[in-house]
Structure 1
Amino acid sequence: MNAAYLTPAITLFNEDGTLDLASQERLFNNLIDQGVDGILVEGSSSEFFAMPMNQRREMAKFAIEKIDHRVKLIIGTSHMVADEIISFSNFCLDAGADAVMILPPYYFHFGPSALLQYYDRLAEQIHGDIYIYNFPDNTGYTIPPETVLALAKMHPNIVGMKDTVPGMDHTRELIKVVKSQIPQFEIYSGFDDNFAHNVLSGGNGCIGALSNVVPEICAAWVRAFRENDLAGIARGQQTIDHLMDLYAIRSPFLPVIKEACRLRGIAATSAGTFPMPSATVEDDARILELLNREGVQ
C-alpha cells in the first residue's frame, strides 16, 4: 500500500535570531538519510509568522540549494497580503521548489465563496503546484471539502492539501469528496497519529512534526505500509501514540520539538523567535523520559 511521510521542518536559529544554517543543513540531511519522503519548510512548525520576508527568502533559497531535489520540497508561502504570497511563491518555484503551501487568510473568518475567490486568484498568478493548508485551530475556521473540490477542478496546479485537524472526520470527507473525482489529488493529515487512518481511508499519508525528532520511526512506519507488514504498522502506531506526549509538554509545542532535536545532537540550540518560550530543565527531563521509554537514543 502506498504511503508518504513528509516533515514540516523546524527553523533553527542562533541565540541572536539569525538563521543557524549549519544546524539546518544537518537537520535536512538527517531527514533525508533516515528516509522521509519530503520536506516542508516555512510551514506551521517553522515560526514563519515571526520571520521577516528577507529571512524567509533566505531560508527558502537555502533549503532549495541544500535539499537539491533529493526529496520533494514544499515551501510554505503563507502571508496576510496576497501579493506577497504570489511574489514569494513564484520566487520559490523559479528557484527550484517542487510546490508551495498556502494557508487561508486568518484573523477574520471567511466563508466558502470568499475562500474560492482567494485561492482562485492565487492559483491564477502562481506558476507552479500549490497545496492548500487547512489548520482551523490556528485560523479559526475550516475549508469545506466542496470548496477544495471546486478549486481543484478550476486549477490543475492545486494538487493537494494538508489537513491539520485532531480527528479524521474532516479529512475523511475530503478523501470521499475530492479523491472520488480527482484520484491524483493528494491529501495529508497534519497530526502524526492520524497517518495510518489517513492511508487506510485512501489518503496519501502525513506531514507531521514528530518526524523532525524521530524520522527513522516515521520512515519505518511508511515501509511497513509499503510492505503490507501489519505488525510493523501496529508497532508504528503504538510508538507514535506514545510519542504524541511530546506535544503536551508545553504550549506552544515548538520549543519542545526543537529541544528534542538538540538533545539528539541535530540542533545546536533550541532558540526560537520572540515571544516563543524557551525549553526548561524540567522539559528536558520529560523529553528524555519519553524518548528513552520508546528506545530512542
Structure 2
Amino acid sequence: MAAVFRGIIPPVCTILDEDGNLDRKGMGQLIDFLIETGVNGLLFLGSSGEFSQMSVQERKEVAAFATDYVHQRVPVIIGTGSTNTREAIELSRHAEQVGADGILVVNPYYWPLSEKNLLQHYGDIVESVSIPVLLYNFPGLTGQDLTPDFVLQLVDRYPNIAGIKETTDEAGHIREMIIKVKGKFPNFSVFSGYDDHLLNTLFLGGDGSIASSVNFAPEISLGIYQAFQNGEMETALKLHQRLAYLPLLYKLDSPFVNVVKEAIALRGIDVSTYVLPPARPLDPLKKEELKKILQKAGVLSSS
C-alpha cells in the first residue's frame, strides 16, 4: 500500500490575475497562510482550483509552481483527472516529474463508462506513475458513482492507490467505503469532500477532509480534527456546529469558486478574486449573503 495521507488538506484555489494568468504572488500568499495554520497537506487543481476551466499547459504551470513553492513543507497532491485518458496520463506523469507527493484523479465526467472501461481508465493512469494515487468520487458532477465494491477492485489490483476523496452527501456511502475498503487495507485513506461530513467521517474511522472551506476557515476543520484526535468531543461538536453553516455558501452561485475566493479576501488575505469563465464575479448582493453566513459560522466578526 502506498504512503498514507490523513488530516485536513485544502483543495487550494488557484489565484489568477485579471487576465486569467497565474498570480504567483497571490498564490504564494495563500499557500503560506494555509501552511502556517497547520494543514496536513495541500491539493492543487481540484474543483476549487478551477482545473476544469484550464488548458493542459495552464494546469502544468500551476502544478509546477505550487510544488516548487511549497518546497516539501507539507505533502502536495495534484489533481490530474480528465475526460481523456491520455491527457490524464500526461498530467499525472508531469505531476510526478515536478515532485508532487501524490495525485488526485476524478473519473471522466461526460460519458458514463462501463465498469470494464472505468477500471481500464484508472489502471492506465495508475500504472503510468509510481507516486500514490487518490481517487476522487464526485457523482453529483461526474454522473457516475465510484462504489465501494468498484474501489475495492481497484485497490486489490493497484497497491499505489492510497485513498479516496468522497464528495458525496451520503454518510452511508462513506461508511461502506471505510468498512469495505479500509477494512481490508487499513492504510487506505478516506476523506470527506463535503465540509460538514468531517466529524462523522472521523467517527466512522475515516481520515479527515479535503473541503473548500479550509481555504478561508482552516481553524474550524483543523480544530475538529485535533479535538477528535485528543478525545475532546465537546470541542469537536461545538466546532462542527459552526462548520455546518459553511456549505450554505456553495448555494450562492455555480460554479462556487467565486464564492470561495471572495471568502478568502474577506478573511483579510489580499488576493485577486478573478475566476475563469464560465464562472463569473460574485454579485454584490450575494457578497452580502456570504458575509452573513461567515458571521454566523464565527469566521468573521459581526461588528
The TM-score by the shorter chain falls in which range? over 0.9
Which of the numbers 49, 63, 66 marks the counterpart of 1:63? Answer: 66
Please state how far the C-alpha of 1:267 moved relative to its aligned partner. Answer: 4.3
| Residue in 2 that maps onto 1:140 | 143
Q: By how many angstroms is 1:111 displaced?
A: 3.0
Does structure 1 residue 52 correspond to structure 2 residue 55?
Answer: yes
Contact 2:242 2:298 in 1 (8 A): no
Match of 1:188 in 2: 191
Letter in structure 2 aligned against 1:60: A
Deviations 1:135-182 (A, max 9, x none): 101110101211111111111111111111112121111111101111
Q: How does 1:141-160 map to 2 (within 5 A)?
A: 141-160=144-163
Q: What does residue 8 of structure 1 align with?
A: 11
RMSD: 1.5
Higher deviation after alignment, 44-53 or 286-295: 286-295
- Superposed counterparts of 1:169-248, under 5 Å: 169-248=172-251
Paired letter, 2:44 = V
Once the two structures are aligned, what percentage of the paired residues are identical? 34
TM-score, normalised with respect to structure 1? 0.96
Instruction: Return the alpha-carbon distance in structure 1 between the equivalents of residues 253 and 87 of structure 2.
Output: 32
| Structure 2: gaps (5+ residues) | none
Deviates further, 142-151 or 191-200: 142-151
Taking the aligned partners of 1:50 and 1:251, their CA distance within structure 2 comes to: 13
* Alignment: residue pair count: 296
CA distance in 1, matches of 2:12, 2:216: 10
* 1:36 and 1:218 in contact (8 A); partners too: no
Distance 1:267 1:48 in 2: 22
Answer whether contact 1:270 1:279 (CA < 8 A) is retained. Answer: no
1:20 aligns with 2:26: no
* Inter-CA distance 289–143: structure 2 relative to 1 (3 Å threshold): same
1:82–1:264 Cα change, 3 Å: same
Q: How far apart are 1:113 and its partner, in Å?
A: 2.2
| CA–CA separation in structure 2 for the residues paired with 1:99 and 1:261 | 25
Aligned partner of 2:197: which letter? Answer: N
Conserved in 1, the CA contact under 8 Å of 2:252 and 2:259? Answer: yes
Which 4+ residue blocks in structure 1 deviate beyond 4 angstroms?
none
State the 1:237 CA deviation: 0.7
Unaligned runs of 5+ in 1: none
TM-score by length of 2: 0.94
CA distance in 1, matches of 2:244, 2:141: 23
